[in-house]
Structure 1
Amino acid sequence: MAATAAATVTATAAASSCSKGESVGIAAPADLTKKAKKGRSPPAEEMEAFFAAAEGDVARRFAAKYNYDVVTDAPMDGRYEWVRVRP
């Protein structure tokens, strides 16, 4: 019973060590909106080019690893043998 009481006291002390105004590593919603308003978003064309390049890189790495082309949805010759499960 003494161990339970000690654990309760320790947990209570740990919970009360932070005040309501303190946050450990978490930004308040007001801080996030202030940061978002300061910067400008890149143009849509630049974002599209960035994500297209990243998506192409992921597709190439997947095809090299699993010999399956996700762009055309077709198996390729290589290490794995792909078998269609559903027609």
Structure 2
Amino acid sequence: MLASVTVIGVLGGLIGVPTGYALHGLVMPLMGRAAGTSMPAPVIDVYEPWQLALLGSGGIAIAVLGALIPAGWAARARTATALRTE
């Protein structure tokens, strides 16, 4: 159970972080233009590479932590009961 959730967390991080980074770079200048100003580079370039890696690993951690309770229940339950509830 934890392995399958980890895969989902990795995929979510690999898709979500670059998508969010790209959208941030696209939306922030548009918001500045809509307000009648230009956004300076420090406002747009707010993420360092290590922060992006941390955000991606946060998706994995959240997925694994969310799966710990169901995984613990399945480990303690009888095999037939665990399979019926899937």
Give the alignment's TM-score, normalised by structure 2: 0.34
Q: Judging by fraction of residues, say which structure has more helix.
A: 2
Larger radius of gyration: 1
Q: Judging by fraction of residues, say which structure has more strand.
A: 1
Give the alignment's TM-score, normalised by structure 1: 0.34
